[in-house]
Amino acid sequence: MLSKNIQDALNSQIKIEAESSQIYLAMACWAEVKGLEGVANFMYAQSDEEREHMLKLVKFVNERGGHAQISELKAPNVTFKSFKEMFKKLFEHEVFVSQSINELVHISLQEKDYATHNFLQWYVAEQIEEEAVARNILDKINMIGDDKGGLYLFDRDIENLTVTTAATNAPE
Ligand code: OFO
């Protein structure tokens, strides 16, 4: 059974994961209308992943005698100055999510809720992975700068990055 404290904290995380999915969906749309199909596909996949993260939390809360809250979401940014800015925002958002997961882990220990603590370890590992991918992308984008040819190649290659990431995640 979940304590009220834990349930509230998990419900806040459900909202964060849902908002992450919307943020990445908006990024996918922006990339798609800008003609970068590879980036758009990558962001659509990220958006789907975030929805999965949300659902995993929803099921956990309901299975443990709580009631998952599906709430109103903050509207995401829909335009960006550049791809560099978009990926910077993606990286910053992942860092924010990692902090939020860390806080949840902290609360679970305070409450001596070891089942929730154990459940959250998957998210801890996932955030390490996602932060690394976002940092990697940002490094590449910083190298490319304003070079259109570089961006073209990056758009082609980012799809391989999705495949590598998916393969790394496969055992989960
Ligand atoms: Fe939900 O994994 Fe990143 O944000």
In a domain, 21, yes or no: yes
Indicate the number of domains in the chain: 1
Query: Which uninterrupted H or E stretch holds 59?
Result: helix 37-63
In a domain, 62, yes or no: yes
In a domain, 95, yes or no: yes
Q: Which domain holds residue 99?
A: 4-160
Of 103, 108, 107, 96, nearest to 16 by C-alpha is 96
In a domain, 111, yes or no: yes
Tokens coding 128 = 């390490």
Tell how far the Cα of 14 is from the centroid of ligand 1, in angstroms: 11
Tell how far the Cα of 50 is from the centroid of ligand 1, in angstroms: 6
Tell how far the Cα of 149 is from the centroid of ligand 1, in angstroms: 30
In a domain, 171, yes or no: no
Q: Which residues of 1-39 are buried (b: 16+ CB within 10 A; e: fewer)?
A: ebbeebbebbbebbbbbbbbbbbbbbbbbbbeebebebb
In a domain, 120, yes or no: yes
Please state the φ and ψ torsions of residue 155, each to the nearest 5 degrees: -60, -35
Tell how far the Cα of 154 is from the centroid of ligand 1, in angstroms: 23
Q: Which residues line ligand 1 (CB under 6 A)?
A: 17, 20, 50, 53, 94, 97, 126-127, 130
User: What is the pLDDT at residue 82?
Assistant: 92
User: What is the pLDDT at residue 165?
Assistant: 54
Domain of 156, CATH number, reads 1.20.1260.10
Summarize pLDDT for 42-84 with one digit per residue, the tens: 999 999 999 999 999 999 999 999 999 999 999 999 999 999 9
In a domain, 170, yes or no: no
How far the first Cα of the chain sits from its last, in Å, is 25
DSSP 140-164: HHHHHTT-HHHHHHHHHHHHHHHHH
- Tell me the one-letter amino acid at 6: I
In a domain, 167, yes or no: no
User: What is the pLDDT at residue 160?
Assistant: 76
Whole-angstrom distance, CA of residue 123 vs CA of residue 119? 8
Please give the number of the atom of ligand 1 that sits closest to the Cα of 54.
1
